[in-house]
Every structure is written in structure tokens, then in C-alpha cells.
Amino acid sequence: MSAIAIEGVPAVRRRRVLPGFGLTMGSTLLYLALIVLLPLAALVLKSAEIGLDGFWRIVSGPRTLAALKLTFGAALIATIFNAAYGLLMAWVLTRYTFRGRAILDALIDLPFALPTAVAGLALTALYAGNGWYGSVLEPAGISIVYTMAGVAVAMAFTSVPFVVRTVQPVLESIQPEIEEASRTLGAYPFTIFRRVIFPIILPSYLTGCALAFARSLGEFGAVIFIAGNLPFKTEIAALLIYIRLEEFDYPSASAIAAILLACAFATLLLTNLLQLWQIRYARRS
């Protein structure tokens, strides 16, 4: 209830569940600074020690460029796949009732609970030449293990829950009356989805895709087993950072990590801006 000021009657204050704005905000900012901001600041400062010339020399090196190209290319492929499959899976889980639905819903979160190294080993065993999938794909001339396709498969596996779990609650919140009204007006099912449902889920859909892309950029454990880690071929940026750390080349590792950090942050920032634009557009219309 908002505060009401009437002559001779004191204003009624809004009661909050968590009292003390200063305490709660201070605790939140302290946690954010200790867990997120300070480590990121240390990363930026470490990469700044080598200066702009040294930073550019590291990130423009042939091996670094090859690793970044592979990482961004595979992450983009994985995100495109997850954008289609994640939306389809969220639609199935929210619009249909079938036997085993609860089990399928629980399996969506498996990449979150499963150690990424275990996921990498499982994917390698499946797509190897003697694996269940590889024994069928390789005779047809399709190689997954130790290729860019394998990197994209591993990234897609670990990041698909982001799309499903961001779209699913929004689909569940859409009232059936909205679709029924569209049907009574003569709209076809695809038209209802395109003109009514998709604009509603678009902000969450973009957020899920952005989170999946950012997650793929930093994937390590699930990729190193299936990629083969061949320099200039299947070496991802996260692995190159690890190699530089093992060589005690901390400035080079920090510089490459700063590139991934900046790209992930830019992706999330762009998504938030698109969400704000979508909300304002929906209010105008």
C-alpha cells in the first residue's frame, strides 16, 4: 500500500519484508565486491601491467587468434542450436502432458549438476569411432571427435538449460484466454505464436540465448576431452589460458581472459538493452 498523506492523518508507511535498506543494500554490495568485482578487477589490472602494446601483441598472436576464432565460432553454433532446441523443449514441457514428463524436466538440469569433465568423457565415448554415435557417423564421413563440431556439441550440452529455464516460466505464465481470443478472431496457430506468444517471451528468450553464449565462451571441462586440444585446430581460448598459467605466463593468460570477459559482458549488456527496448515497445503498443 502506497503512502497516503491526509491533513491531520499521518502518512502510512509501506511495510517491507526485509527491513533496513541500508543494511541489506550494504550486505549485497559487499558480497558483490568480494566475490565478483575484486577478482575481475585483479584480472583487469594484471592484464594492464603489460601495456597496450604488449596486450595487443598477445591477443593478436596467431595461436591466440586461432583459439579465439574457434571459441567464438563454436559458441555461436551451439547458441543457434540451443535457441531452436531450447525453445522447442520449453514448449513441450509447458504445453503437453505425457508420461515421463517429470523425468524429462529433471534431465534438463543435468548439465548443471553433472561435472563438466564427466560430460566431456561421456560425449567423447559416444562420438568416438567405436562409440554408439561415432560408429554410425564416421562411416558416413562425419567426424565429431577432435573437430570444431565436437567443441560445439560440448558447448551446446552444457549451455542448453539456460534457454529452457528462462523461457519455460514465461510460457507457463501466459493465460490460455489470450490464445483462445486469437482463435476466435480466426488466427492460425502459427500466427498466434508469431504475433501473440513470441513477443511475450522474446525478452526472456534473448536472455537465455545470451547466457548460453556467455557460458559457452568459458566452457573448459566438457570441451578438452572431445576437442583433442590441437593448436591452431581444436584449441579453445580457455585451454590456452590454462596452458599460459602452467607456463607461469600470467600476463598472457590475463590478457586472453580479459578478452573473453569483455565479450561475455558485452553480450549480457546488449541483451539487457534489447529487453528494455522490448518493454518500452510493448508499452507503447
Read off the pLDDT of residues 83-125 as tens digits, 9 standing for 90 and up: 999 999 999 999 888 898 999 999 998 888 888 888 888 898 8
What pLDDT does 282 receive?
A: 63
What pLDDT does 274 receive?
A: 75
Pick the more confident residue, 216 or 6. 216
The residue-averaged pLDDT of 173-183 equals 81
Judged on CB neighbours under 10 Å (0-12, 13-18, 19+), 156 is buried
Judged on CB neighbours under 10 Å (0-12, 13-18, 19+), 87 is buried
User: 139: domain CATH number?
Assistant: 1.10.3720.10
What pLDDT does 157 receive?
A: 92
Task: Report if residue 49 sits inside a domain.
Answer: no
Task: Report if residue 261 sits inside a domain.
Answer: yes
Task: Report if residue 166 sits inside a domain.
Answer: yes
Within the chain, where are the H helices? 21-32, 38-48, 51-59, 62-95, 101-108, 110-113, 116-127, 134-137, 148-173, 176-184, 189-192, 198-217, 221-227, 237-246, 250-284
The residue-averaged pLDDT of 166-187 equals 83
Q: How confident is the model at residue 15 (pLDDT cuts 50, 70, 90)?
A: low
What's the pTM?
Answer: 0.81
What pLDDT does 84 receive?
A: 94
In angstroms, the CA 208 to CA 194 distance is: 19
The neighbour count for residue 136, using CB atoms within 10 Å, is 10
Task: Report if residue 47 sits inside a domain.
Answer: no
* Domain carrying residue 113: 59-284
Task: Report if residue 18 sits inside a domain.
Answer: no
Cell of 264: 561475455
Please write the tens of the pLDDT for every residue from 43-79: 777 777 777 888 888 888 899 999 999 999 999 999 9
Task: Report if residue 12 sits inside a domain.
Answer: no
Percent of the chain exceeding pLDDT 90 equals 22
Residue 199: pLDDT over 80 = yes
**Number of domains forming the structure of the chain:** 1
Q: For residues 60 and 225, is the Cβ–Cβ distance under 8 A? A: no
Task: Report if residue 46 sits inside a domain.
Answer: no
